[in-house]
């Protein structure tokens, strides 16, 4: 069960990164060319929203399973904060990705309430770009903590 969840979580990560780039490029295109915020913009934003929340759900299940199985992949001991690898998986990865998901969610929800198309594109651009930078930095931090 753990391996299947882990592989799904990893695969979905790449899909979310591609979707984020697509949404950001669409927002830049909409701002630069003064295009209306259309159905396609809304659909890609919705798909990004759905996949990030699916990733969150899989991540929560993975977190619980990794703690409950016999291997105890997630540790909650006094030494957790001293070990960079354990700290990354128990704290930094979780908090960083939660913040990124909140940014993507806020972008989706608040964009629907705006009336000007330029404001919608700008909101999608700014919040999703910050989320993308945060996700990439957390992934790179994980690569460095494992080394």
Assess contact for 61 and 5: CB atoms under 8 A: yes
pTM score of the predicted model: 0.90
Assess contact for 62 and 2: CB atoms under 8 A: yes
* The pLDDT of residue 128 is above 80: yes
Q: Percent of the chain beyond pLDDT 70?
A: 95
Q: Per residue in 118-127, pLDDT tens?
A: 999 999 999 9
Place of tokens 């790449």: 14
Mean pLDDT of the chain: 91
2 phi, psi to nearest 5 deg: -60, -45
Q: Per residue in 24-62, pLDDT tens?
A: 999 999 999 999 999 999 999 999 999 999 999 999 998
* The pLDDT of residue 68 is above 80: no
* The pLDDT of residue 84 is above 80: yes
Assess contact for 32 and 10: CB atoms under 8 A: no
């Amino acid at each position: 069960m753990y391996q299947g969840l882990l592989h799904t979580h990893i695969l979905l990560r790449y899909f979310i990164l591609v979707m984020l780039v697509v949404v950001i490029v669409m927002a830049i295109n909409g701002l630069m060319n003064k295009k209306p915020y259309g159905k396609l913009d809304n659909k890609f934003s919705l798909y990004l929203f759905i996949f990030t929340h699916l990733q969150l759900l899989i991540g929560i299940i993975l977190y619980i399973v990794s703690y409950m199985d016999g291997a105890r992949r997630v540790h909650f001991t006094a030494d957790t904060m001293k070990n960079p690898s354990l700290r990354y998986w128990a704290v930094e990865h979780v908090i960083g990705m939660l913040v990124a998901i909140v940014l993507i969610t806020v972008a989706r929800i608040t964009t629907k309430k705006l009336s000007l198309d330029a404001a919608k594109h700008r909101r999608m651009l700014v919040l999703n770009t910050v989320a993308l930078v945060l996700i990439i930095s957390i992934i790179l931090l994980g690569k460095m903590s494992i080394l």
